[in-house]
Amino acid sequence: MEGVAHVVSTLSSYQRQELIELVGEMAAGESNPARREFLEAFPEDFGMINDAS
């Protein structure tokens, strides 16, 4: 997971927003509750969502 967090930290704002949108679409279509929960929490858990927004 540290590797994923590192890669996410190197994304541009545009790339980060695109990834957030993609993960959101994946979560919306996920039927497995555990996977959906993981995907819904992913952007915040990996520091992609800024509290200042």
Considering its fold, how many domains does the chain have in total? 1
Determine the pLDDT at residue 20.
93
Does residue 51 belong to any structural domain of this protein?
no
Q: Specify the pTM.
A: 0.78
Does residue 12 belong to any structural domain of this protein?
yes
Determine the pLDDT at residue 24.
96
What is the per-residue burial (b if ≥16 Cβ within 10 Å, else e) of 7-27?
A: ebeeeeeeebeebbeebeeeb
pLDDT digits (tens, 9 = 90+) for 1-53: 778 888 888 889 999 999 999 999 999 999 999 999 999 999 988 888 865 44
Q: How far lies 26's CA from each of 9, 23, 31, 39, in Å?
A: 21, 5, 10, 7
Determine the pLDDT at residue 1.
75
Domain that holds residue 21: 2-45
Does residue 50 belong to any structural domain of this protein?
no
Determine the pLDDT at residue 37.
97
